[in-house]
Structure 1
Amino acid sequence: MDKPVSYTIEEVSALLKVSKLTIYDLIKKGKITAFRVGRQMRIDHEDLVAYKAGSRTVKSYSEKAVPALNSHQTVISGQDIVLDLLSKHLEPKLRTPPLRLYMGSLNSLMSMYHGECNLVSVHLYDGETGQYNVPYVKRMLVSQPFALINLVCRNAGIYVRKGNPLQIKTWRDLAKPVVTIVNREKGSGARVLLDEQLRLHQISHENLKGYETEVTNHLSVASAVASGQADAGIGIENVAKMAEVDFIPMIQEQYDLVILKTNENNNLLHHVMNTLSSSDFKSQLSQLKGYDLHLTGQIIYET
């Protein structure tokens, strides 16, 4: 029987980076649906996803709803919770609150290329060089000066059910006939990582059962594994505990920020660098599981 995924109030407050009182207030106002088990309140994964989707200020690029930038607006694109934390730190320093756009790495870069984002996050693995991000950003923004700055390094790998009953330990194990995976959408960093590893190991995606099944974030991948809809999926470490799945680390990836070096972005670049070097910001990051700060704030590449 499939196991439904739900979260405690503490887990939801940690995920959304707000206080438990805020979560209780959202429940009281009917903005998040919750249910009670004994003395404990819980929130279903589907209801949390529905709340986040309904609260987004900007829709995804694929929905063609991204507004054109004006000189005072900052649009930040990416999905990791550390980007939400960065946005909150930048908010008091900017003329208007930043808008958050929740898109995968390649779509974020495309949106920046079209002038629809100021700051995007990327984690794109290049199997030819073994590098993260630089080869992709150089090709995409070939005619525009930019800076690539590390936000965090984080563990990426494979989500499996508790106890790892199918003994999935390598990329090749995903092609076992008994294994069903759930995939990320095209353009996401996790999808690029999987496709590059399949290419390097000479595994056809046609040998992966469930390869065509796509979801749009790490939590949905982990939740599908936890509920028994899939045996494995690709994602990042910090989500595994929330979804109650085991995590097989496969690679440490660079989660970097890209910002165009324009006159309009001078102040934004200054505020980003100051925030990344601040002890307060790093202290908050250090409390999150699965992140490494040894490169945080370093310029990885610039033109």
Structure 2
Amino acid sequence: MEANSGLTTQEVAQVLNISKNTVYELIKRGELSSYRVGRKVRIDEIDIEKYKDKSRTNIKTSSINVEQINVEKINNPIVTSLNTKKDLPGSSYKSDFIICGQDILLDVLTRHLEQHPNGLQALRRYIGSYNGLVELYRGNINIATAHLWDGDTGVYNIPYVRRILPGVPCIIIHLVCRMQGFYVAKGNPKNITTWKDLTRPDVLMINREKGCGVRVLIDEKLCKIGIPWQSINGYESEALSHLAVASTVARGDADVAIGNEKVAQQVENIQFVPMQKERYDLIIKKDDINKPPFKAILEILNSKEFKEELRGIGGYDLTDTGKIVEQP
């Protein structure tokens, strides 16, 4: 099985957060490569990344100071939401303010931040939790998000912030809790219910990329249980998102993947087997906490409007949203 099995136009629309018709228009204009399997259009993940890269490099420098963003440091995946508006009232920050993470709730947060009196227009960078903390340490982004489970302590995020940002005082703010589990075919025909089931010779797995929170959970669990990764068929096959692995299972190209419950609700022919509740947190440097955009973010996270919008999306436990977890 190829790790980058083609996605449908609907799946690509969800990945890029655009309409299905826009996907067809991009294909028609030759901006997004595609191919056909019978009568159905398919797009490879690598071509989605190429389209993102092309979109980034085509942004006019008159609209934004590219040197200020330091594109060479950012590399892939793409930074999105660039536009010509640089400043909003009450903020000294330019449009190189970057929020790192992959969950759709960050799109909601970015929109609320733009509308806040002391907010600004932020960029999004779609990389995994571990790499996001590394980029925060390097000073390439302003906000990281993480759902990194530590097998030794059973604690999310705090141990990783201490290790990956040594000597950098940080503040961890809780976003939401989500349920992680197995994506299997509807009806769970192979009765996959435990981590040990992944080692069965009749089970084929599709994995996530190194550095994302799901991959850390998988590797920590396997290590703690004592399961060698070599015993799992498909362990070395990787995809770049919850949606990509879920759709791989839905198409029958794999028997199992690991991801959050919300995505399982969006993909047909998928059944979700819950395994573990996780914490999804936001991490900022302590020196930034009193600066206008960061204060605005805290206000947004604790606002009724923001929480009601997430509640409408579904799949989130909002019990402690906006609370400061710890200052490691």
| Alpha-carbon shift at residue 242 of structure 1 (Å) | 2.2
Alignment CA distance shift 1:155-1:243 (3 Å) = same
Note if 1:300 corresponds to 2:291. Answer: no
Query: Equivalences for 1:1-303 in 2 at 5 Å?
Result: 6=8, 24=21, 27=24, 30=29, 46=44, 50=48, 53=52, 61=74, 63=76, 71-72=93-94, 73-93=96-116, 96-244=120-268, 245-263=270-288, 266-303=291-328
Q: Deviations over 1:152-199 (max 9, x none)?
A: 110111111111111000111111111110111111100000011111
Q: Deviations over 1:230-287 (max 9, x none)?
A: 1111111111122221111101100100011225862222111100111111111001
| Alpha-carbon shift at residue 92 of structure 1 (Å) | 2.9
Q: Distance in 1 between matches of 2:158 and 2:109?
A: 22
Q: Distance in 2 between matches of 1:157 and 1:267?
A: 38
Secondary structure at the aligned position of 1:230 is classed as: coil
Secondary structure at the aligned position of 1:136 is classed as: helix
Alignment CA distance shift 1:26-1:165 (3 Å) = closer
Alignment CA distance shift 1:49-1:199 (3 Å) = same
RMSD of aligned alpha carbons:
3.3
Q: Deviations over 1:2-34 (max 9, x none)?
A: x986466xx88777667x6xx646655757799
Alignment CA distance shift 1:170-1:56 (3 Å) = farther
Q: Deviations over 1:97-138 (max 9, x none)?
A: 211100000100001110001111100001111110001001
- Structure 1: gaps (5+ residues): 35-41
Aligned residue identity for 2:52: A
- Structure 2: gaps (5+ residues): 35-39, 58-70, 80-91
Q: Distance in 2 between matches of 1:265 and 1:246?
A: 44
The answer to whether the Cα contact below 8 Å between 2:9 and 2:24 also exists between their aligned partners in 1 is no
Q: Deviations over 1:194-235 (max 9, x none)?
A: 011111111111111111111111111111111111111111
Q: Distance in 1 between matches of 2:112 and 2:32?
A: 25
Q: Distance in 1 between matches of 2:41 and 2:321?
A: 33
Secondary structure at the aligned position of 2:313 is classed as: coil
Alignment CA distance shift 1:59-1:180 (3 Å) = farther
Secondary structure at the aligned position of 2:266 is classed as: helix
Alignment CA distance shift 1:288-1:297 (3 Å) = same
Question: Given the two structures, how large is their TM-score scaled by the length of structure 2?
Answer: 0.77
Secondary structure at the aligned position of 1:291 is classed as: coil
The answer to whether the Cα contact below 8 Å between 1:181 and 1:211 also exists between their aligned partners in 2 is yes
The answer to whether the Cα contact below 8 Å between 1:225 and 1:233 also exists between their aligned partners in 2 is yes
Percent same amino acid among aligned pairs?
Answer: 41
Q: Distance in 1 between matches of 2:105 and 2:140?
A: 21
Q: Indicate the residue corresponding to 2:86 in structure 1.
A: none
Q: Distance in 2 between matches of 1:104 and 1:60?
A: 16
Question: Given the two structures, how large is their TM-score scaled by the length of structure 1?
Answer: 0.83
Alignment CA distance shift 1:53-1:158 (3 Å) = farther
The answer to whether the Cα contact below 8 Å between 1:156 and 1:234 also exists between their aligned partners in 2 is yes
